Amino acid sequence: MILSHRPLKGALFGSAFPPGDELEDLAKVLGSNMALFYQSYEVILSAPPLRMIWPDGVLGSNIDRFRSFMEEAAAPAEKMHLKAFWELLKEEKPVTADLFLLRSGFLFDTSILGLVFLGFPWGRFLVVLPGEDPSRVREQTARLTEVSPKALRSALDRWVEDMETEFVVTKLLDQFSEEFRGNSGFSRRTGLPLTDNRIQVYELFYAFRNKKWQRDVIEGEITEGVAAAGLTWKRPGMKTGATATGTPVLRERGIRIGNEVHIRFSVFVGGVHPLGEIPVPVSALAAGGLVRMNRFIREISTALVSHAQSLTSSHFRFSRFWTESGFSVAGIEEIAKVIDPGNWRNLILLPFWETGPHSLAEVKAACRVSDPFFYDPAKNMGALLLRDCSEWHARNVVVRHFRHRVSAHVEAPITVGRFLSGQ
């Protein structure tokens, strides 16, 4: 099935992986008259046949224009019925469906339109069912259950989340230091689920060539994994064969590319979501380049989480807790679940109390960019969520590190579970 799609507003690229088989299966049951409305209900994906019914059903159109179309198309006796449908749609149910009688002669060989809206955190997915026989249109709507709703929703969520990732990547590329543009770039990995709990891994590379950013997509290995959590991985210190589904540990590390060694710097969104890596030649880090790159990595983490606050899918939902001073303490549980869904209660928090005008900035400067920073201005206190850190290591190493470097009063480490139960 042919689909038209485009990047989110403000993004250089759209997702390289549009939904495929799942929409094909849906089209076999309900037909190909479909469109995806994102956020403010702008169309970012549509099937060309939809324009035979709704002429304005093109990329960039919005749900208000579709509503105007339906109000013009519906028979006068359907006005109140249609108004009630729009009110029902506001309830954000998983599925909202109904059918409407059209004005005589409004559409050729069509006297009824069935509407099916699938609700998502990021917007709505619409399927339009044209017909002449009300019972047949109702039967088509009922056949939606023949398509795997879970697989369909997963495919649409995955595509929108990747579109949003490209929106965030664009912010990174826009602020990428010119000092490193010519000899570096950005890379990220993503995985598409296959059968038998396997994932096809893809590497996406962004390089500044011919005075603009260009993207290359390279097919990589097939690995075991789960679609909901991305790739599986082995936590350092775990037994052989044991895997976790949380975020893998990302640290600066050296790799050889050709005849030169590169240092790969991990880029985070607010210290929570690992976006990808920036490989920089060691030669480019001489004469203060390492300090400048580390400063950029820290600053871009803050810039990206602020930028992501406009996004609405569950993938970047944690960013709504971000404030100018750090994450709200109210977001500790949700953010801990993002970092390690299966072990979030045992993640370690390092609480501290602000003691002066500079103590907050001192803690921020001394922490790792991969450790989310929480702050409660009403209580004058904050906490660091220590990624991949045991309570023993936090108590015997991390606490000493901070107490020697900051004027803030640093408390003993505590697990997220104990911290939340004591609030």
3-state secondary structure 252-304: CEEEEECCEEEEEEEEEECCCEEEEEEEEEHHHHCCCHHHHHHHHHHHHHHHH
Query: Mind giving me the DSSP string for 300-329?
Result: HHHHHHHHGGG--SGGGGGGGGEETTEE-G
Pick the CATH number of 4-147 from 3.30.2310, 3.55.50, 3.40.50, 3.30.450: 3.30.450
Q: What are phi and psi of 282, to 5 degrees?
A: -60, -35
Give the mean pLDDT of 147-163. 93
Residue 360 confidence class, pLDDT cut points 50, 70, 90: confident
Task: Give the whole-angstrom CA distance, residue 243 versus residue 239.
Answer: 9
Fill in the DSSP letter of residue 269. E
Answer yes or no: is pLDDT of 238 > 70.
no
Structure confidence at residue 251 (pLDDT):
53
Dihedral sign of CA atoms 112, 118, 124, 127 in order: negative
Scored b (16 or more CB within 10 A) or e, 69-93 reads: bbeebbbeebeeebeebeeebeeee
Q: What are phi and psi of 298, to 5 degrees?
A: -70, -45
Amino acid, single-letter form, for residue 94: P
Task: Give the whole-angstrom CA distance, residue 107 versus residue 144.
Answer: 24
Answer yes or no: is pLDDT of 248 > 90.
no
Task: Give the whole-angstrom CA distance, residue 227 versus residue 233.
Answer: 13
Torsional class of 319: left (φ above 0), alpha (ψ -120 to 50), beta (otherwise): alpha
Bridge partners of 36, per DSSP, are 45, 125
Structure confidence at residue 373 (pLDDT):
94
User: Residue 112: enclosing H or E segment and its boundaries?
Assistant: strand 112-120
Residue 35 confidence class, pLDDT cut points 50, 70, 90: very high
Structure confidence at residue 423 (pLDDT):
61
Give the mean pLDDT of 282-296. 88
Give the mean pLDDT of 148-163. 93
Decide: helix, strand or coil at residue 80: helix
Domain ranges of the chain: 4-147, 175-310, 324-422
Instruction: Annotate 29-43 with three-state secondary structure.
Output: HHCCCEEEEECCCEE
Query: Cα separations (Å) of 13 from 9, 216, 308?
Result: 10, 11, 16
> Could you tell me if 302 and 171 are in contact, meaning their C-beta atoms sit under 8 angstroms apart?
no
* 150 or 254, greater pLDDT: 150
HSE (side-chain half, CA atoms, 13 Å) at 325: 18
Structure confidence at residue 227 (pLDDT):
41
Decide: helix, strand or coil at residue 356: coil
Bridge partners of 169, per DSSP, are none
* Residue 366 Cα to chain centre, angstroms: 28
372-394, pLDDT tens digit by residue?
A: 999 999 898 999 999 999 999 99
| Residue 2, token pair as written in the block | 């042919």
Fill in the DSSP letter of residue 285. G
- How much is the mean pLDDT over the chain? 88
| Residue 387, token pair as written in the block | 């990624």
Amino acid, single-letter form, for residue 222: I
Task: Give the whole-angstrom CA distance, residue 413 versus residue 21.
Answer: 48
Answer yes or no: is pLDDT of 418 > 80.
yes
Structure confidence at residue 254 (pLDDT):
64
| Nearest alpha carbon to residue 12 among 160, 171, 161 | 171
188-232, pLDDT tens digit by residue?
A: 999 998 877 889 999 999 999 999 999 999 998 888 765 433 343
Answer yes or no: is pLDDT of 243 > 80.
no
> Could you tell me if 99 and 141 are in contact, meaning their C-beta atoms sit under 8 angstroms apart?
yes
Range from 36-40, 211-215, 234-238, 263-267 carrying the lowest mean pLDDT: 234-238
315-333, pLDDT tens digit by residue?
A: 899 999 999 889 999 999 9
Tokens 């939809």, located at residue: 50
Answer yes or no: is pLDDT of 65 > 80.
yes
CATH code for the structural domain at 324-422: 3.30.70
The beta strand positions in 156-211, using DSSP E, are 185-193, 198-209
Task: Give the whole-angstrom CA distance, residue 315 versus residue 326.
Answer: 19
112-135, pLDDT tens digit by residue?
A: 999 999 999 999 999 999 998 889
> Could you tell me if 189 and 221 are in contact, meaning their C-beta atoms sit under 8 angstroms apart?
no
Residue 289 confidence class, pLDDT cut points 50, 70, 90: confident
